[in-house]
Structure 1
Amino acid sequence: SGGSTLTMQAARLLEPRPRTLLAKAQQILRAVQIDAHLSKGEVLDLYLTLAPYGGNLEGIRAASLAWFGKEPKVLTTGEAALLVALPQSPERRRPDRFPKMAKAARDRILQTLADRGHITQTEAREAMAEPIPERRIPFPFLAPHLSERLARSAPASTATVRATIDRTVQMKLEDLARRESRFVDDMATIAVIAVDTASGQVIGHLGGHDFWGVAGQIDLTRRARSPGSTLKPFIYGLAFDDLMIHPLTLIDDKPTVFGDYAPRNFDRAFQGTVSITQALQMSLNVPAVALLDRVGPLKLAGRLRDAGATLVFPTRGAVPSLPLALGGVGISLEDLTTLYAAIPGGGVVRPLRFEVGQGGGATSRLFGEQAAYYLAKILRGSPLPDGWSMGQGVIRARAVGFKTGTSYGYRDAWAIGFSPRYTVGVWVGRADGSTRPGYFGRNAAAPILLKAFECLPPEPQGLPLPPPGIIVAQNAAQLPRALQRFRTRGQEKAGLRAIQPPRISFPPDGSVVGLPREGPRQTMALKARGGEGTLRWIINGVPVTDGQGPQIFWTPDSTGFSQLTVVDGAGRSDTVRVRFKTD
């Protein structure tokens, strides 16, 4: 301004003062200090960082984004010339208010550059023909919850944090959430996570659909909430792993008391005898609790924790029990989506990745490939929300499997789904946890989930091939006798009091077995006792097809931990974990 040097202008912007002789003298002193410590290039950087560009804009990057929607390094000659002209009179040359004055100032800059040989006259004329921006472009404000989280966790020396968020996907998801928010009550919010299953990269993240609304700055993807029925697939997955059930196995849905616990279905009705596939697709409560009673609540909770999930029970130190099957625990949308990614991921849980270059972290196996395949096939047949077509011949962009859930008192509505490539989790509810009668997972969250998949990049058509070990049958009668009908723990005890369950006698649980460093691997005997009928073996989730009975021979193919399971004809099992290492 006036006859001030660039350094004096930087000093004035650095320490704004009233326009007095004393202030001018202080600016001169500060300018001398700046010149003594900074190079000319650094002085220019300081000036461009602080310079005013109209309204509340300060700094060339903010101006470049606001007026042109791009970073300074990709500005055209005409755009750069306008930003050079603006700080000299930022209000009188504002392009959105005084476009003629802004154009005249820009053109003078361009003509000066041409006269001094920095650009050609032709380049100057072409730049002068560029239009002046008519309005400011809103600043990017995508994934604010995740952006704030990453910024806070980054080291102080980190200048830039690159998130794995896909900009196009994020914009579509945020627009979807804003549109869908009209159909939820005023106090409710929508949280969404979209994950690339193979890599674990989070490509879309909404901690809440309205960052500036009531409790909008709470990241609800990380808050523990009751998951309702969304944990049921993991119960079925563990039961599949133990050869306790098959998708065609018959199971009873009838009034049943488990000690002092008597679960009922959401609609208060019972369906009688159904298949395992129908029980999971219809989200029946009694079959889920009966399966958990056999699998064991401690085993389920331990497996989920081993996969990285944080479980919050109603009281500190509470022991997992049967209500776990129906949402009697707290878990976050982030953790639940991570667990569901194991279904299209072949049973393997991969930690979520939020930053580019972030390590993938250690993976863990939640259940075997066969169980993952069964679950994916069953959940792809889940009933769609009211109003969504299920007719034959309807073309769909991708095959989506999903499960919904509703917590007690209609506080939380969930829908978690997957396609062959992506996994998406949706939660709808109030930040304060208050009830929302009439809103449940199937009508409040599932429609948003299915629309969210439409926001994702296209993926190849077709489904994964079944893994080895799948039992193929047309109906329950074609299954092995132990898999034809599920027996509850009470039924099992009543019929098998005189017969001891199978137990692995060798190798013992927790043992360490040495393997030679070189040469062929040693074959070892696996031994079991007890059990009813034929004993079948499962190694690392894969049924052994070339041997059965109380003793088989097996050759370990690698070092590390292996899980050995034996199952009798009644579906009872025993499992040990053995570590193999080289001598």
Structure 2
Amino acid sequence: MQRLLAYFKNNKKKTIVLFLILVAYYFCLPKHLFKDPTATVITSNKNELLGAIIADDGQWRFPENDSVPDKFKTCIIAFEDEYFYNHPGFNPISIFKALKENINSGEIKRGGSTITQQVIRLSRKGKQRTYWEKFKEIILATRLEFRHKKDEILALYASHAPFGGNVVGLDAASWRYFNRNSEDLSWAESATLAVLPNAPSLIYPGKNQLQLLKKRNRLLKKLLDNQTIDSLTYRLSISEGLPQKPYPLPQIAPHLLQTIAKNNKGQRIKTSVNKRLQQQTNTIVFNHYNTLKQNEIYNISVLILDVKTRKVLTYVGNAPTDKNHQNSVDIINKPRSTGSILKPFLYAAMLDAGDILPNTLVADVPTQFGDYSPENFNKEFDGAVPAKQALSRSLNVPAVIMLKDFGLDRFHYYLKNLHLKDIRFNANHYGLSLVLGGAESNLWDLCKSYAAFSSTINHFNETSSEYFSNEFCEPTFYEDEKIDFGKKSNEKTLFDAASIYLTYESLKEVNRPEGDDNWEFFDNSKQIAWKTGTSYGFRDAWAIGTTKDYVVGVWVGNADGEGRPGLVGVQTAAPILFDVFDLLPNSQWFQKPFDEMEKVKICLTSGYRASVNCNNVDEKYIQKSGLKTKACPYHKLIHLDKTESFQVNSSCENINEIKNTSWFILPPLMAYYYKDKHPFYKPLPAFREDCINSKKETMEFIYPKDIKKIFLPKDFNEKTNDLILKVTHSKPNTKLYWYLDHIFLGETTTIHNMSIRPKEGKYTITVTDEFGNEIKKTIEISQ
């Protein structure tokens, strides 16, 4: 050491020069050898290619791969650089032989470059092949050997070597020429690609096939001679043909590729997509598309989420339609009218708030809210229907009545907390139509909400009855991303587990349209909570279903918003939903979250908590918040005579002869429609004629109910149609007397309908019964 220091001291100039040379040598190699644009590549959760977008310079150049398949590694070393693992970046013997041959021939015939040198030459593209450039390559190659391991250098070569045409790199070449991953190439295929970088023009179809075949077979013979392959493998390999044309790269999830490319351009992204499930779903979509396009319905999107990991398993952004029908549009994240798909959220919110129980009777009668008059899909009314059934049958009128009772602003608040980003306006902008499709949302947000609901029940049962603070999180399509569900808490995140569970119990029922007796899509062996939706004008059809493990969402329609007859959720989207669920493993049904439930006595007729007057009672588990609901208001104690034919009181019957009986009594308007669907509904008996009735008889308008302005339609002969007035009375066979602005119109008994044809103007309709009760309605007639 002292001698070395003394030498440096005595030879300062030489030392400085040497130091500068070493510094120059150290920094002579750029930090990044290759700056070429690369293709955007996505793979499945098992690293299977799903699709790629060509690089900006028009080259199929995949992002660098840090590994090289063993077969190709063996072939390329045997063909290009047998001493690759032994030399320092250049091979003096090869250089000497090449120099001698070139001098003798008077031109450059042989390069003698190692793989390391070829990496340098590839990175310094456009340089002439001169001896000076060769010298610089040698210097840079040795520096590269200091910086990288041998296998890393080999990986750089495999990623950037030319393979003919616009194909660069082994990964792209494997797919373009053999339609498979480089790890799956045979010996013959690996040998074919190994000889190409040396003469990439040989790959052009129809040209140089014999020359390429000879080079490949010579390499295979070399592998046989050095005992890398056996004689059988050799014979089978040389019998394989050469690629005749480039294959198109797989496009298994093209719309997901577009989405990922926005933020990950030029990168290789490992997604959470299950390739086999994606391909099977693509086939289902293709088959349904071929049927639906006969009705000029051209677009379909499907999303499958794993509830436990919140990862995307399948992403079908659109049907395999054409450019004229927006085949490039990714529908999954596009806002569309929701139809009835938000109804479960209202039902869950009302359960959670303790406003209803699952079978609480909800009014289903003609209803008018200002200028808004909701209608059921079948144009009929049930009078009263259990809330659970109203949801499973997707009845519109009960949903709007429930929303009115719950509060529009209150429901809007919950939707905002579900992070439905397309609900951008305040509650008044949407009005009561919010629950029937007055708002827009997208398949991604809706599926993530259902997944959060399912996960809430799962987590609650898997933990000590706890909730996670970040339950309503964004799903991911990145395989390496792990969802953080947040901290555990005894406080619910949004809805309690029992309310969600009871909502799903309702959604297990088939919500088919009335009259559709040939339902063929529901498989009773699969327990799925599912909901359909159809937007106004038949523009959007939805179907979203969930099990304990998976959420499947389907949208069907036209990307341009054109409506089509028959574009109904239960007819177009639901069949796709259940075809997709058939691909998924069966799941056990959700466990009942007992810690959020109480067993109470329920009136089986009304669905309310049983009152002392209820005579048909059973114990049921309800959500704890349901304890706040009132007792049954429809069962009342009445007094009958011994025959139970008439009501009586102490004014006409001995108290000892009066029979006290519980009676199910609905309000007149609800009863008017309810009795048509429930033949065993018994109206309240009349008072016996000799009794003094202290109770006032009641009646109510059926039509017009809340309407103030009425437009009289005309028939095909331009004749104005009659206006039919309807009233219901609590006591059957009562005579009613009708007046229009104090002008007597007539009387009715039993069926209280009155036909009039007034001129334009304002009128007051007055109806009185034989007991002196009176109701009035002021209307304005327009024609």
Q: Settle same-fold status: TM greater than 0.5.
A: yes
Of 330, 341, 344 in structure 2, the residue corresponding to residue 219 of structure 1 is 330
Q: Which amino acid aligns with 1:353?
A: T
Of 428, 437, 445 in structure 1, the residue corresponding to residue 573 of structure 2 is 445
Q: Which amino acid aligns with 2:560?
A: D
| Cα offset, 1:99, TM superposition | 7.2
The residue aligned with 2:220 is: 110
The residue aligned with 1:184 is: 292
| Cα offset, 1:232, TM superposition | 0.5
The residue aligned with 2:346 is: 235
- 1-side partners of 2:374 and 2:612: how far apart? 24
The residue aligned with 1:514 is: none
Of 427, 442, 447 in structure 1, the residue corresponding to residue 555 of structure 2 is 427
Deviates more, 1:90-99 or 1:303-312: 90-99
Name the TM-score, length of structure 1 as normaliser. 0.71
The residue aligned with 2:379 is: 268
CA RMSD of aligned residues (A): 3.9
| CA contact 1:305–1:311 (8 Å) conserved in 2 | no
- 2-side partners of 1:249 and 1:568: how far apart? 10
| CA contact 2:423–2:441 (8 Å) conserved in 1 | yes
1:178-218 Cα deviation digits (max 9, x unpaired): 22111233563111110111221110111212387343332
1:443-480 Cα deviation digits (max 9, x unpaired): 12111111121233x134x4233222155758235741
| CA contact 2:391–2:506 (8 Å) conserved in 1 | yes
The residue aligned with 2:362 is: 251
The residue aligned with 1:529 is: none
- 1-side partners of 2:297 and 2:607: how far apart? 52
Q: Which amino acid aligns with 1:192?
A: V
Of 191, 202, 218 in structure 2, the residue corresponding to residue 81 of structure 1 is 191
| CA contact 1:384–1:390 (8 Å) conserved in 2 | no
Task: Check if 1:355 corresponds to 2:478.
Answer: yes
| CA contact 1:351–1:362 (8 Å) conserved in 2 | no
| Cα offset, 1:307, TM superposition | 2.5
Q: Which amino acid aligns with 1:466?
A: K
Of 303, 307, 330 in structure 1, the residue corresponding to residue 414 of structure 2 is 303
- Are the structure 2 counterparts of residues 34 and 279 from structure 1 closer, same or farther at C-alpha, using a change threshold of 3 Å? farther
Gap regions ≥5 residues in structure 2: 1-107, 458-470, 487-491, 615-621, 634-783
Structure with more contact order per residue of length (Cα contacts < 8 Å, sep ≥ 6) = 1
- Are the structure 2 counterparts of residues 46 and 420 from structure 1 closer, same or farther at C-alpha, using a change threshold of 3 Å? closer
| Cα offset, 1:267, TM superposition | 3.1
Of 518, 531, 534 in structure 2, the residue corresponding to residue 406 of structure 1 is 534
The residue aligned with 1:174 is: 282
| Cα offset, 1:268, TM superposition | 2.6
| Cα offset, 1:352, TM superposition | 1.0
Deviates more, 1:159-168 or 1:119-128: 119-128
| Cα offset, 1:311, TM superposition | 3.4
- 2-side partners of 1:123 and 1:297: how far apart? 77
1:228 alignment partner, SS class: coil
1:417 alignment partner, SS class: strand
| CA contact 1:342–1:349 (8 Å) conserved in 2 | yes
1:414 alignment partner, SS class: strand
Of 579, 589, 610 in structure 2, the residue corresponding to residue 463 of structure 1 is 589
Counting only pairs closer than 5 Å after superposition, residues 311-322 of structure 1 correspond to structure 2 as: 311-313=422-424, 319=429, 321-322=431-432
Task: Check if 1:368 corresponds to 2:496.
Answer: yes
- 1-side partners of 2:478 and 2:307: how far apart? 15
The residue aligned with 2:609 is: 480
Q: Which amino acid aligns with 1:83?
A: L
Counting only pairs closer than 5 Å after superposition, residues 19-30 of structure 1 correspond to structure 2 as: 24=128
- 2-side partners of 1:145 and 1:161: how far apart? 14
1:277-299 Cα deviation digits (max 9, x unpaired): 22112211111011111222222
Q: Which amino acid aligns with 2:559?
A: A
- 1-side partners of 2:137 and 2:297: how far apart? 53
| CA contact 2:252–2:278 (8 Å) conserved in 1 | yes
| Cα offset, 1:237, TM superposition | 0.7
Q: Which is higher, the Rg of structure 1 or of structure 2?
A: 2
| CA contact 2:302–2:317 (8 Å) conserved in 1 | yes
| CA contact 2:272–2:312 (8 Å) conserved in 1 | yes
The residue aligned with 1:333 is: 443
| CA contact 2:171–2:181 (8 Å) conserved in 1 | yes
Task: Check if 1:131 corresponds to 2:240.
Answer: yes
| CA contact 1:298–1:320 (8 Å) conserved in 2 | no
| CA contact 2:353–2:625 (8 Å) conserved in 1 | no
Of 251, 254, 259 in structure 2, the residue corresponding to residue 144 of structure 1 is 254
Q: Which amino acid aligns with 2:386?
A: S
- 2-side partners of 1:446 and 1:236: how far apart? 21
| Cα offset, 1:398, TM superposition | 2.5
| Cα offset, 1:176, TM superposition | 1.6
The residue aligned with 1:416 is: 544
- Are the structure 2 counterparts of residues 11 and 466 from structure 1 closer, same or farther at C-alpha, using a change threshold of 3 Å? closer
- Are the structure 2 counterparts of residues 33 and 297 from structure 1 closer, same or farther at C-alpha, using a change threshold of 3 Å? farther
Q: Which amino acid aligns with 2:272?
A: T
1:198 alignment partner, SS class: coil
Gap regions ≥5 residues in structure 1: 18-22, 486-537, 549-565, 572-583
The residue aligned with 2:764 is: none
Q: Which amino acid aligns with 2:334?
A: R
- 2-side partners of 1:229 and 1:152: how far apart? 32
- Are the structure 2 counterparts of residues 149 and 316 from structure 1 closer, same or farther at C-alpha, using a change threshold of 3 Å? same
- 1-side partners of 2:564 and 2:153: how far apart? 58
| Cα offset, 1:173, TM superposition | 1.3
Deviates more, 1:235-244 or 1:224-233: 235-244
- Are the structure 2 counterparts of residues 56 and 220 from structure 1 closer, same or farther at C-alpha, using a change threshold of 3 Å? same
| CA contact 1:189–1:429 (8 Å) conserved in 2 | yes
Name the TM-score, length of structure 2 as normaliser. 0.54
2:385 alignment partner, SS class: strand
| Cα offset, 1:64, TM superposition | 1.6
| Cα offset, 1:424, TM superposition | 0.8
Aligned pair count reads 483
